[in-house]
Amino acid sequence: MAANDCIFCKIVKKEIPAKIAEEGADWIAFHDIHPKAPLHLLVVPHRHLERLSDAKAEDADFVGRLFLEAARIGRAKSPAGFRLMVNDGSAAGQRVFHIHIHILGQTDME
């Protein structure tokens, strides 16, 4: 999918609305419209990259910072614990092909 057709790119550019939880210089965190837990946020980089498996060695800092921000947000919003999840590819449940991290928390998960 081209970046100009990507729903997450449109959210980043504020072309379509989202319930934004936080935003940094190069990422945005917003509430999932189909939550799977009481807290279900998506952390999305401003930069379009379709899948985590598309990342190269030169993307290590970019990907690492994204995970650190997701962990910081998870800790702040669900201090008792949270889950970070990335779906990579349609067979893994990825529906939007723009790398993103799910933060799931405020519930007991098995």
Catalytic residues: 100
With b for 16 or more beta-carbon neighbours within 10 A and e for fewer, the 3-35 pattern comes to: eeebbbbbbbeeeeebeebeeeeebbbbebeee
